[in-house]
Amino acid sequence: MEFTAYQKRTAAWTGIALLVGVFVWLLAPVLTPFLVAAVLAYALNPLVNRLDAWFRGKTPRWLAVTLVMIIFMLVVTGVVMLIVPVVVKEMPMLQSQIPVLLDRGSHWLQGVFDRFGVPLQVNVGTIKDLLRDYFSAKPEGGAPSGIDSVLSSLKIGGSVAFAVLGNLMLIPMVLFYLLVDWERIIANLFRLVPRRMRDAVHNFATEADEVLGQYLRGQLTVMLILAVYYSIALSLFGFDLALPIGIFTGLAIFVPYLGYGVGLILATLFGILQLGVVKALVMVGVVYGLAQVVESFYLTPRLVGERMGLHPVVVIFALLAFGQLFGFVGVLLALPISAVLLVAGRRLRAQYLQSDLYNG
C-alpha cells in the first residue's frame, strides 16, 4: 500500500508533535518556570510594545520592559499584601479560638447523635492535641514545635523548597530576556517554517493570537466583576475583612478552583472568628455558593468561552481534562491551549469539508 505525499507529511508532523509532547511531559518540572515566563511574556508584550511606541524609539526597549515588569510586580505584591498582613494579624486569635470551636462543634454533633439514637461518641481530643503541638510553645521557652515540624519538613524536602525559591528567582529573569527579545524570537521561529508553508502558518498564528487576546480580555473582565462582587457581598454581612479577601478571591479566580478554594477557606475561618459559626457559614454559603454558580455557568462560559468560540461544556471539560493530565499547570493553561486547538480544529474541519473523503 502506497501513501500519498500528503499522508506522509501528516504522519511526519504527527510524529514530531508526539515527540515534543513526550519531551515536554518528561521535563515538565524543569520547563515550568520557562513556560510560566513565556505565558507572562506573551501577555505583557503588547504593553511593552505600546510603551515602546509611546517613547517613539528614543529609549532602548529594555527600559520599557523594566517599567512594565515593575508595574506587574507591584500589582502582584499588592494583591499578596492584601492577605499576608491579615493572616499574620488574625493568626493568634485563630489559634486560641480553634479549640473552643472544636469543643462547641463536638457538643453540638454529640447532641445530634444522641437525639437520633446513633451510638457514636465524638472525641476531638486527638485533633486538639495535634493543633496544640503545632501552635503552642515548648515549656523551655524554645521555638514552637510546629516550627520545628516545618523546619524538619524543609530538611526532608529541602530540594523542593530550593526548587520553589529557584523558580521564583528564575521566572522574572527569564521574563525580562523574553520581553526584550520577543519580536526577534518570534521572527527567528518564523524563519524556520518552510517557505511554502509560511502563509498558512502566519494566518494560523494570527487567528490564534486573536482568540488568545479574546481569552485574556474575557478572563480579566471576569476577575474584576468577581472582585467587586465578593467585596460588596461580604461587606453586606458586616464582615470586616470583606475588601482584602474579596479582592483576593476575585483576582485569584485566574487560577481555576485554587483561587476560589483559598478565598473560601479564608472567609470561613476569619468569618467564624468575627461573626460566629452560624452567621459565618450562612455568609460563606450564600456569597461563595452564588458566585460559583454564576461564574461557572454564566461568566466564564459567556465572557471567556463565547469570546473564544468555545461551548460552555467544552470549557468545563477542558479544565477537568487538562487538570487531570498536567495538574496545576494544566488547569492554568487549559483555556489558552484550547483556544489554539480550536483554531487548528477549524482549519482541519475546513480541509475535511473540501476533501475527496467528504465529497465522495
- Residue pLDDT, tens place only, 335-345: 677 777 877 88
Neighbour tally for 133: CB within 10 Å: 13
User: What is the number of alpha carbons within 13 Å of residue 32 lying toward its C-beta?
Assistant: 16
What is the pTM assigned to this prediction? 0.65
Closest among 46, 304, 336, 343 to 212, alpha carbons compared: 336
Q: Check residue 314 and give its pLDDT.
A: 73
> And the C-alpha cell for 250?
476575585
Exposed / middle / buried, residue 230 (Cβ in 10 Å: 0-12, 13-18, 19+): buried
Averaged pLDDT for residues 165-187: 86
Q: Check residue 354 and give its pLDDT.
A: 84
Q: Does pLDDT of 156 surpass 60?
A: no
Closest among 348, 346, 335, 275 to 304, alpha carbons compared: 335
Which residues lie closer than 8 Å to 231 by C-beta, 6 or more apart?
Answer: 242, 243, 246, 247, 250
Q: Check residue 141 and give its pLDDT.
A: 45
Q: CA dihedral defined by 157, 162, 168, 170, rounded to 10 degrees?
A: -140
What phi, psi does 27 have (nearest 5°)? -100, 20
Q: How far apart are CA 56 and CA 50, in angstroms?
A: 10
Averaged pLDDT for residues 257-266: 78
User: What is the number of alpha carbons within 13 Å of residue 92 lying toward its C-beta?
Assistant: 3
Q: Check residue 232 and give its pLDDT.
A: 92
> And the C-alpha cell for 222?
471576569
> And the C-alpha cell for 203?
494566518
> And the C-alpha cell for 168?
521564583
Q: Which residue has the higher pLDDT, 191 or 329?
A: 191
The rounded percent of the chain whose pLDDT value lies above 90 is: 4
- DSSP assignment string, 87-117: HHHHHHHHHHHHHHHHHHHHHHHHHHHHHTT
Q: Are the CB atoms for 131 and 95 separated by under 8 Å?
A: yes
**What's the sign of the alpha-carbon dihedral 316, 320, 325, 329?**
positive
pLDDT, mean over the chain: 76
pLDDT digits (tens, 9 = 90+) for 82-129: 777 776 776 666 666 666 666 666 677 767 777 777 676 656 566 656
**182-191 helix and 28-55 helix, angle to the nearest 10 degrees:** 110
Q: Check residue 70 and give its pLDDT.
A: 92
H or E segment and range at residue 222: helix 198-236
In eight-state DSSP terms, residue 197 is G
Which residues lie closer than 8 Å to 109 by C-beta, 6 or more apart?
Answer: 122
Q: Are the CB atoms for 150 and 135 separated by under 8 Å?
A: no
In eight-state DSSP terms, residue 57 is T
